[in-house]
Amino acid sequence: MSEQNKTPQTLQEWQDLAASLKIEGRAFINGEYVDALSGATRPTINPADGQELAQIASCGPEDAELAVKIARKTFESGVWSNMPPMERKKIMVRFAELIEQNKVEIALLESLDAGKPISDTMNVDVPGAVTTIRWTGEGIDKIYDEVAPTGPNELALVQRMPLGVVAAIVPWNFPLSTTAWKLGPALATGNSVILKPASNTPLTAIKLAGLAKEAGLPDGVLNVLPGPGSSLGKTLGLHMDIDCLTFTGSTEVGKTLTEYAGQSNLKRTFLELGGKSPNIVFADADLDKAAEAAALAVFYNQGETCTAGTRLLVEKGIAKDFIEKVKKASERFVPGHPQDPNTVMGALIDQSQFDTVEFYVAKGLEQGAQLACGGKPADAVAGGHYYEPTIFTGVNGDMTIAREEIFGPVLSVIEFEDEAEALQIANDSIYGLAAGVWTKDISRAHRMAREIRAGSVWVNNYFGGDITVPFGGFKQSGNGRDKSLHALDKYCELKSTWIDLS
């Protein structure tokens, strides 16, 4: 392991390390790596070159039934749910330390599995997961229950109780980060968890399960089931003995999971879904800084980001010059091999996502938008799916590319006359996940931040924030919040106890 944690410095060194990895592809149930009960497997594919990375257990309804039964039994045993918060904290902090100690291997698994640049997985994804697990663990013994104000003959207690069995379904674009966002608060509050990673990016979730056991997490508290959403995800959504479902992914799937909750036991269902985020630039902004951020906002992570600033709203008087600045800033997002430390934009996840990007680019041209740059596949690595940074101008709010989530490196530029029109365009969306506002006028900044219907508004920056602030959306971008102390509330029941002392 020590050899694997010497940080490679070149593409060849990363590829040599990848060739030496022994990738675990089994499910994790009751503290052990196991095959799917059916014995079925499916390949996980490297988006960089289309080559198979490993065979992964393909779990089905029967595996879900087993995992739920074990998770429930473990929860009711109290081995974790009744463990003093200070003791749970020690295990959570140790879990974070083990992730950090294995950061090179975990970063490589994430890059191989998701097509993300290794520089991002090393410097953003893994450190973020470490911070989330450590911070949430550290916080759990500092959250106090309450004593309500009563007369002298009564005592009223308000206590936070763990929900029970939590099913967490995470996406393929940020599999490690979102897994940490779910596991941190769900485990810290004493729940048992069944984690279903996206079927095409299971590797880091499977790795984390073993590290959690090594940290001291009791068997049965965390179970990881790789498998298809159509059968496994549906089973979890409809299961009568799961108390909470937390999901990050598309709005379409989120609606389906909500229906499953209603059809079954009304399980708590928390959703972080799609976005079509506006990034609004006024004429008085620092235009150079705003242009660099506008390119990052849409091209980071190949555009496969729910908060991506895919609608760039620009005040008309500066639009022409500002678009040129954004085009210039986009030139550094040259698609390249994900394991090359110099790469800033990697591969799209698979052929289906590549086809989706192609479809929307064609739709933009068909509806009259003009290409300022890009609009075609990139020639990066044979067998992979790469796409050039693409900017459309002449876009209006009725165009498909201005309304639907593309999940690729495609930017739509929309011009506006004044603050009122900018606000109207920004809110003209079924989504409300995030937004950016660029202005030196502090009063305008506050007005816009207040009136934009989005869960996160970034002023004179994009992607700002850390573990201390909540993350989630308005409207069809979901409900509930990940991150911050507010996330702990998602995984607790409030119990009121009223005692007569007379």
3-state secondary structure 52-66: EEEEEECCCHHHHHH
Q: Is 159 helix (H, G, I), strand (E, B) or coil?
A: strand
- Here the tokens at position 298 are 């849409």
The yes-or-no answer on residue 272 being catalytic is: yes
Please enumerate, as own/partner, the contacts of 373-381 that have beta carbons within 8 Å and a separation of 24 or more: 373/327, 373/330, 374/330, 374/409, 374/410, 378/334, 378/335, 380/335, 380/336, 380/337, 380/347, 381/48, 381/49, 381/336, 381/337, 381/347
Distances (CA, A) of 75 to 57, 81, 170, 270: 25, 6, 22, 21
**Where would I find the beta strands (DSSP E) of 88-164?**
146-147, 154-162
* CA atoms of 335 and 20, how far apart (whole Å): 26
314 neighbors 278 (Cβ within 8 angstroms): no
d(CA 172, CA 204): 11
- Tell me if 200 sits within 8 A of 278, measured CB to CB: no
324 is catalytic: no
Catalytic residue among 24, 105, 292, 306: 306
Is the CB of residue 364 less than 8 Å from the CB of residue 412? yes
How many C-beta atoms surround the C-beta of residue 477 within 10 A? Answer: 28
DSSP state of 31: T
Contact 197, 114 (CB under 8 A): no
Residue 67 CA neighbour count, 13 Å, CB half: 36
User: What are the φ and ψ backbone dihedral angles of 300, each rounded to 5 degrees?
Assistant: -60, 140
Is beta strand 165-169 parallel, antiparallel or unpaired with respect to 154-162? unpaired
For residue 352, the SS3 value is helix
Residue the block writes with tokens 């895919």: 310
Helices of type H across 216-339: 234-238, 251-263, 287-299, 319-330
Q: Which two tokens stand for residue 195?
A: 């984690």
Phi, psi of 365 (to 5 degrees): -65, -40
Give the total residue count for the chain: 502
Residues 6+ apart with CB under 8 A from 343: 117, 118, 119, 334, 335, 336, 337
Which residue out of 24, 105, 272, 304 is catalytically annotated? 272
Distance, CA of 201 to CA of 210 (rounded, Å): 17
Type of residue found at 318: I
Q: Which residues are the active-site residues? A: 272, 306
